[in-house]
């Protein structure tokens, strides 16, 4: 979700106003994902690098997060959306942690739709945390160092029980990944949109999904291997 600040700047408004409008786009995006039958929606809300922003902006983002959780929990419950987080949430302010725990707890039993908030998230810190957890598992004998696979290692990522993303959308015109799900997006399709996050509407979401459906996903195979086999016409009678 990128471009809140520029959206505001373009209108001569303070950056925080862009973030406020960004929250509205979050609301509608959650609703749209649900309507489209998307089972997992992950929103990159705050990165480990975002702490480098001015204290005032970081504070405003945390307040908005708290406000969002307070206001949206009932909607998540009535829409049967489970909330999960990825990232070092233990380092978020106590008031945010409290709201997160409340909402995660209140929605934990839903299975149809999952909203994942990436909070204080970064792929590199995720790798470090995973390696630490993996090494501990090797030490206890739970994991055999010599009998290892990606699946075994991936169980130590924040996303252990979440599927890899099929589609990654970035708004604002930047064509960077910015430390987001680097490992999980190994085979994701990317769509970069030239619009700012507050302008990400249902129509934009639908267009990105249409673009996704046009892509041929080969996962290392050839296009021929994927093409439906044409039944051979044989015989003369
Ligand atoms: C939203 O957009 C990103 C966050 C929620 C941290 P930005 O705040 O990065 O907006 P720009 O890139 O400055 O326009
Ligand atoms: Mg940005």
pLDDT tens sequence for the chain (237 residues): 999 999 999 999 999 999 999 999 999 999 999 999 999 999 999 999 999 999 999 999 999 999 999 999 999 999 999 999 999 999 999 999 999 999 999 999 999 999 999 999 999 999 999 999 999 999 999 999 998 899 999 999 999 999 999 999 999 999 999 999 999 999 999 999 999 999 999 999 999 999 999 999 999 999 999 987 666 666 654
Active site residue 2: yes
Active site residue 199: no
Whether the CB-CB separation of 43 and 29 falls below 8 Å is answered with yes
Our CA angle for 56, 42, 205, nearest 5°, is 100
Q: What is the pLDDT of residue 228?
A: 74
Q: Give the separation between CA 27 and CA 43, rounded to whole angstroms.
A: 11
Residue 53 Cα, ligand 2 centroid: separation in angstroms? 11
> For ligand 1, atom 3, which residue shows the shortest CA distance?
2
Taking residue 130's Cβ as centre, other Cβ atoms within 10 Å add up to 19
Query: Three-state SS for 148?
Result: coil
Domain ranges (residues) in the chain:
4-214
- Model pLDDT for residues 129-160, shown as the tens digit of each residue: 999 999 999 999 999 999 889 999 999 999 99
Nearest to 62 by CA among 109, 115, 25, 100: 100
Residue 171 Cα, ligand 2 centroid: separation in angstroms? 9
Is 102 a pocket residue for ligand 1 (Cβ < 6 Å)? no
Q: Give the separation between CA 116 and CA 105, rounded to whole angstroms.
A: 14
Q: What is the pLDDT of residue 119?
A: 99
Nearest to 195 by CA among 174, 215, 221: 174
Whether the CB-CB separation of 212 and 189 falls below 8 Å is answered with yes
Tokens standing for 192? 């970069």
- CATH number for domain 4-214, candidates 3.40.50.1820, 3.40.50.720, 3.10.180.10, 3.40.1180.10: 3.40.1180.10
Tokens standing for 150? 């990606």
Terminal Cα distance for the chain, rounded: 62
Is 172 a pocket residue for ligand 1 (Cβ < 6 Å)? yes
């Amino acid at each position: 979700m990128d471009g809140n600040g520029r959206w505001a700047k373009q209108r001569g408004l303070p950056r925080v106003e862009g973030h406020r409008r960004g929250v509205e786009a979050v609301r509608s995006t959650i609703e749209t994902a649900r309507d489209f039958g998307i089972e997992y929606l992950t929103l990159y809300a705050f990165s480990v690098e975002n702490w480098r922003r001015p204290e005032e902006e970081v504070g405003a983002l945390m307040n908005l997060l708290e406000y969002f959780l307070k206001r949206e929990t009932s909607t998540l419950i009535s829409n049967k959306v489970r909330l999960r987080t990825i990232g070092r949430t233990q380092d978020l302010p106590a008031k945010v942690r409290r709201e997160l725990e409340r909402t995660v707890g209140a929605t934990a039993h839903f299975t149809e739709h999952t909203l994942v908030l990436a909070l204080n998230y970064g792929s590199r810190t995720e790798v470090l945390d995973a390696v630490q957890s993996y090494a501990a598992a090797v030490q206890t004998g739970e994991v055999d160092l010599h009998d290892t696979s990606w699946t075994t290692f991936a169980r130590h990522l924040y996303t252990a029980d979440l599927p890899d993303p099929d589609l990654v959308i970035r708004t604002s015109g930047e064509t960077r990944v910015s430390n987001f799900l680097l490992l999980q997006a190994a085979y994701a399709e990317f769509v970069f949109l030239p619009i700012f996050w507050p302008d990400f509407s249902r129509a934009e979401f639908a267009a990105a999904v249409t673009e996704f459906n046009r892509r041929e996903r080969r996962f290392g195979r050839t296009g021929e291997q994927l093409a439906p086999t044409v039944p051979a016409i044989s015989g003369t009678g």
